[in-house]
Amino acid sequence: MKLLIDVGNTLCKYVTFQQGELSAVTSIESHLINQQWLTKNFPAVAQCIVSNVNDSQINQTISLWCESQNIAYCFVKSETEKFNLRCAYDDPSTFGVDRWLGLIGASTLFPNQAALIIDVGTATTIDLLTSSGVHQGGWILPGIELMFSSVTNNTKKVIATPKEINQIAFANNTSDAVNQANWAATIGCINIAIASAHSQYLSQDESLKIILTGGNAAKLKQLMAIECEYIEKLIFVGINRYDAKNCA
């Protein structure tokens, strides 16, 4: 059995891979990861592949556990080139490994297809991948909750409560105005990214796959006016391309 771990800023998500299938995604708060928890929950692991955008101490915890259990392990890092993909960053070490794995996941599921990968989590990231596997760069903006808190925490008279919305509309009260604006700003940014991809990077009439992933992706899909594909396990598809015995 292969254990795939994605350590995020708040949550650690994980799946197992065996008999050609990825399990359902499960999560735990990242700060709760310890060797006892790993031993209890994963007694039959042969490989452990990890993506981590959180504290490096978590890497040490996982590596010590793997070594004590004789498990092959690998910590994925962003690279200039891998799996016929090329990163746009001059210094790939500064390119978030979660974004890198999103690119790998997209190219695995949709080979030779231009794609816009949108990860809607603590931050929202948008990355463009051409059909030839060349990353053209991307954007980072605050996630929905971060946008909300940035307004309410830094103003004295903007009083708002987080609220689910079913459509984008102008609001007639402050709380709804903040909630609506967070989603509208995110969708507006995505629409500009789509237009820019078509006008600057893609050939005429070339199709662009719009891929949504991350904690708020399912909700965003409901609000988008264009066709999008929600892929919950996109990062894990990317992680699963790696083999702990030949990770470099």
Q: How confident is the model at residue 246 (pLDDT cuts 50, 70, 90)?
A: confident
Residue range 37-68, pLDDT digits in tens: 999 999 889 999 999 988 889 999 999 999 99
Residue spans of alpha helices (H) in the chain: 35-41, 56-68, 97-109, 144-153, 174-196, 217-223, 234-239
CA distance to 5, 17, 175, 232, 242, per residue, from 25 (Å): 10, 11, 33, 8, 18
Q: How confident is the model at residue 248 (pLDDT cuts 50, 70, 90)?
A: low
Confirm or reject CATH 3.30.420.40 for domain 2-75, answering yes or no. yes
Q: Is the pLDDT score of 102 beyond 90?
A: yes
Q: Domain segments of the chain: what residues?
A: 2-75, 81-234
Q: Is the pLDDT score of 155 beyond 90?
A: yes
Question: What's the pLDDT at 31?
Answer: 86
Select from 201, 36, 231 the least CA-distant residue to 131: 201
3-state secondary structure of 100: helix
Question: Which superfamily is assigned to 81-234 in CATH?
Answer: ATPase, nucleotide binding domain (3.30.420.40)
Q: Is 98 a catalytic residue?
A: yes
Residue range 161-172, pLDDT digits in tens: 999 999 999 999
Q: Catalytic one among 6, 98, 119, 127? A: 98
Q: How many CB atoms lie within 10 A of CB 210?
A: 19
Q: Do domains 2-75 and 81-234 have the same CATH topology?
A: yes
